[in-house]
């Protein structure tokens, strides 16, 4: 027979919620578990996460191939980015990502041939204590 509380409601129906809340509270006290929760949340919200080398390769691949030129990306903190004007839509996406609390730093990755910067930068969010980056926004 199922136990009932003072309102004659079965206790078992609310137990999973209480257990989930308790597990969440326990994880919140463990830094390593908080990190994994942040990674999982970032993946769900922004798609796959990449290492810096993977990002530089992907950003570089957005350029057409040129014989004798290496395609890569230059990354700089968003606060000091002085390239093209960041479009409003990209700024809104950046602000939403910054408010989420998932990312420690934000970067602008600009495609380059060697050191020659090109158009179409990307905004990246770096997850603290990892080598994992999410693509927040891209523009032409």
pTM greater than 0.85 (yes/no): no
- How far is Cα 54 from Cα 137, in angstroms, rounded to an integer? 16
- Give per-residue pLDDT as tens, 56-105: 999 988 888 888 888 888 899 999 998 888 999 999 999 999 999 999 99
Mean pLDDT score, 25-53: 90
Band (pLDDT 50/70/90 cuts) for residue 129 is: confident
Task: Check pLDDT > 70 for residue 120.
Answer: yes
- How far is Cα 98 from Cα 108, in angstroms, rounded to an integer? 14
Count the Cβ atoms, other than its own, within 10 Å of residue 56: 19
């Amino acid at each position: 027979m199922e136990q009932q509380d003072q309102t004659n409601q079965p206790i078992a129906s609310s137990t999973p919620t209480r257990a989930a809340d308790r597990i969440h509270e326990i994880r919140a006290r463990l830094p390593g578990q908080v990190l994994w929760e942040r990674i999982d949340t970032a993946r769900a919200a922004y798609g796959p996460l990449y290492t810096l080398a993977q990002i530089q390769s992907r950003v570089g691949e957005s350029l057409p191939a040129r014989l004798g030129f290496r395609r890569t990306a230059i990354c700089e903190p968003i606060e000091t980015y002085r390239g093209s004007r960041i479009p409003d839509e990209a700024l809104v996406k950046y602000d939403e990502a910054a408010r989420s609390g998932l990312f420690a730093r934000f970067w602008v990755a600009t495609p380059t041939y060697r050191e020659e910067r090109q158009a179409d930068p990307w905004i990246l969010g770096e997850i603290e204590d990892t080598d994992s980056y999410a693509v927040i926004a891209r523009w032409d």
